[in-house]
């Protein structure tokens, strides 16, 4: 997949890729350089974004097919309160 760098040094991640990887605005990503290769990935243990159901109830969507445990919820709540 080809992308272009703009004058400010930015590239656009195509919508199809953003949707597939659940990349949302303000998500922090880790960038590493290996020789002539740029690697961009989510930091390990990246927090999931709180979503709201159509009934107004908050929830965290499953990430990569993983189930969210009570401990996960508590850690996310604690991290958000810092």
How many whole angstroms separate alpha carbon 8 and alpha carbon 12? 12
pLDDT of residue 82: 67
**32 and 60 within one domain:** no
Q: Could you list the residue range(s) of the whole structural domain that residue 30 is in? A: 1-45
pLDDT of residue 46: 56
pLDDT of residue 5: 94
* Helix/strand/coil percent split, the chain, to 5: 25, 15, 60
pLDDT per position in the chain (82 positions), as tens? Answer: 899 999 999 999 999 998 888 888 888 899 999 999 999 988 776 566 778 889 998 887 776 666 778 888 888 888 887 6
Check which CATH number belongs to the domain holding 25 and give it. Answer: 2.10.260
**33 and 58 within one domain:** no
**Closest listed residue to residue 47, CA positions, set 2, 79, 8:** 79
**Domains held by the chain: number:** 2
């Amino acid at each position: 997949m080809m992308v272009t760098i703009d004058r400010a040094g930015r590239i656009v991640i195509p919508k199809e890729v953003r949707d597939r990887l659940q990349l949302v605005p303000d998500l922090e990503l880790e960038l590493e350089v290996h020789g002539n290769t740029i690697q961009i990935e989510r930091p390990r243990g990246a927090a999931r974004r709180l979503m709201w159901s159509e009934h107004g109830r908050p929830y965290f969507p499953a990430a990569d097919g993983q189930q969210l445990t009570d401990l996960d919820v508590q850690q996310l709540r604690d991290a958000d309160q810092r």
